[in-house]
Amino acid sequence: MAGSRVLGIESTAHTASVGIVSPGRDGRPRVLSNRSAVWRPPEGGIHPREAANAHAEALPGLIREALREAKVAAGDLSAVAFAQGPGLGPCLRTGASAARALALTAGVPLVGVNHCVAHLEVGRALLGCEDPVLLYASGGNTQVIAFAGGRYRVFGETLDIGVGNMLDKFGREAGLPFPAGPAIEGLASRGSKLLPLPYSVKGMDVAYSGMLTAALQMRRDGERMEDIAFSIQEVAFAMLVEVAERAMAHVGRDELLLGGGVAANARLVEMAGTMTRERGAESFVPERRFCVDNGAMIAVLGAMMLGAGVTTPVGESAVRQRFRTDEVEVSWR
């Protein structure tokens, strides 16, 4: 859609973010702006209400900054997209309210998008992979997703906590800063001893709470933090790469796309690269700012849906905390 400008609002968990995209000349979207504010819990895990309050304060400024940076007036937008789910209720509702208000003021349609599908579509749109298996590894979510039979389907997922959540919970108990992923990566680079953490793949699904308990016990037993961090990464990521590889074999794909904050980890990227190379396949890793939760990916998927004529009437714009990847009707590809 020539001249189209779609603004996307992300607020499923700890990140409030606003992105604006327009179609580029090569058919790939151009990201005109992408502004984020990450809420960090003073202690403990995410408190949904407190995170939502922080988002409510941050979003008006983020919207203004994103419009200014993109040099777009609200009235020139073609649509306002927002992450309709899955996520934390209060956080989702805050983003949805901001989106409704902006869309009504600007007199443009709303587009409610699925957050997990947006992680996949932003990679397809920006990196040019065509039909990848997505390994989506973030704080709250851990899923292996591919397009099959007209829908995005979840081929494997965590049965308990997300892989990033496991890292963060371990880090909290061990006194590491939040989020713990980067600190664990730093420690792991100085570790070398592979400790026997539980490798928990059940069918195509993974589980991480047993690993968390075992890693914390190893710490009490006096193992070096460097070795525990090293072992967590080796075992946790091997589980993910195994399931991703089996999904690729099952659906016959030769592209692997990484997404989610954990995809910032160089060891995970390396293991994914080794697996795909050995299969004669290719792996794609978006820039970090498009791997973590971000408004641009919501705008990218919103623009695709808008292009296919999909919009969300205000009366159907209630948030969906448990919005499943395979509930999305895919009409844009």
Query: Which residues form the interface with ligand AMP (CB under 6 A)?
Result: 15, 138-140, 164, 167-168, 179-182, 185, 260-262, 264-265, 292-293
Residue 196: φ, ψ to 5°: -80, 75
Nearer to Mg ion, 120 or 218 (CB): 120
User: Long-range CB contacts (< 8 A, 24+ apart) of 42-48?
Assistant: 44/172, 45/168, 45/169, 45/172, 46/13, 46/14, 46/88, 48/88, 48/89, 48/90, 48/91
**Which one of ligand AMP, Mg ion, none interacts with residue 89, CB within 5 to 8 A by kind?**
none
- Per the CB < 8 A criterion, the answer to whether 131 and 255 are in contact is yes
- Residue 164 interaction partner, one of Mg ion, ligand AMP, none, beta carbon < 5-8 Å per kind: ligand AMP
Number of residues that bind Mg ion (CB under 5 A): 2
Q: For the chain, how are helix, strand and coil distributed in percent, rounded to 5?
A: 45, 20, 35
Output the smallest distance, CB 167 to ligand AMP, in A.
Answer: 5
Query: Which residue, 147 or 170, is less far from ligand AMP as judged by CB?
Result: 170
Q: Provide the mask over 291-330, with x wherever binding to Mg ion is found by CB under 5 A and - wherever it is not.
A: --x-------------------------------------
For residue 121, the number of C-alpha atoms closer than 13 Å in the C-beta half-sphere is 26
Question: Cβ of residue 181: shortest distance to ligand AMP, in angstroms?
Answer: 2
- Of residues 114 through 173, those in contact with Mg ion by CB under 5 A are 138
Q: Which of ligand AMP, Mg ion, none lies near 180, with the C-beta cut-off 5 to 8 A by kind?
A: ligand AMP
By DSSP bridging, strand 6-10 and strand 79-85 are: parallel
The torsion angles phi and psi of 94, rounded to 5 degrees, stand at: -65, -45
CB of 179 to ligand AMP, least distance (A): 3
CB of 148 to Mg ion, least distance (A): 22
Rounded-to-10 torsion of CA 312, 99, 5, 85: -60
Q: How far is the CB of 13 from Mg ion (least distance, A)?
A: 7
CB 206 within 8 Å of CB 243: yes
Q: Of 152 and 208, which has the nearer Cβ to ligand AMP?
A: 208
Of 182 and 307, CB closest to ligand AMP: 182
Write down the least CB distance from residue 293 to Mg ion, Å: 4
End-to-end alpha-carbon separation of the chain, Å? 15
297 class by beta-carbon count within 10 Å (0-12 exposed, 13-18 middle, 19+ buried): buried
Could you say which of Mg ion, ligand AMP, none residue 167 binds, taking C-beta under 5 to 8 angstroms by partner kind? ligand AMP
What residues make contact with Mg ion under the rule CB under 5 A? 138, 293
